Structure 1
């Protein structure tokens, strides 16, 4: 009987990475994710998801129970530590995630491929709303970077925020350019053009 390899995920990698530094209980993991600004790239708002991930990692032998304790202020808490296999798997996951772009099928490109359900005016309106939201996100990322710098965090802990800022700024620039082209009439099409595309390539 063959055993499948442990399944990677951003949350699972983050749990293993944090346990590299010190043994932690789930609440401590959740707090560190927030304190280090990683909630921008890892969703720990759903505590149940974190507990399921920890349970899976424990079952796969990537982490182990270090101790279970209780004090007067808190209920019983289980402290976990990373195992040697967990350290090896975390490095393998990290190297793969960093080196190999993954086709993730995000929503926005899928929506762009179906924009023709809207009129040009409607396209401009909805994309302008996205541009406004992106501008707000960009302001938040700039503020987060400034706060992290002020707290004295080394740059290595801010790279994910830098990446999100760069990607958000690039998307905002592109969306604004598309909206401008729609408004100016530079982005246009005809029913005949679309019918020809739908008909497929011309047979010789």
Structure 2
């Protein structure tokens, strides 16, 4: 069974075998508004954090994660011919997120957007626009986005000594893997400027990025427990 998934919590299976999970790629008119109305945050997709209640009962894994692109299999494509529904990655409302591992640590980059506006926390359209600019126009393999509460002291230590967020503020974290040439760095900065995030965005690359990633996921894990 192949499941193309967007999941705000984490997929859960029990007494199931041979399940394949992948990140769904889908767009149709109004999907973003429907997800906002349902209080689903497009920045937080945990499709690959699967909990298996039956894991101890099987000698092999009951599921696999497909990080490569896996198109939705349709029994009849004609059903969507006269609609705005598409499963193309380049048009998807749901971002393609994959494995955090990279063979070349120098290609890992982490982007932080400081969020100090409650309307943005509830409807993260502004940071999404900037992230989509980078995602679609640079030669990147998009990895993960997270919107999470952050501790100001941690952010000042790991991200930016001048971080202005309070202890209750939130940040949007976007992790990319790409070979950041000078031209791409210029576009990266242009995308930040065009979306009015100057002064609120911090970029780390390489080993510095990995240190930040480790620290932020400790925060996420502690918030879940």
TM-score, normalised by the number of residues in structure 1: 0.23
Greater share of residues in strand:
2
From the two aligned structures, give the one with the greater helix fraction.
1
Superposition TM-score, scaled by structure 2 size: 0.22
Q: Greater relative contact order (Cα 8 A, min sep 6): structure 1 or 2?
A: 2
Larger radius of gyration: 1
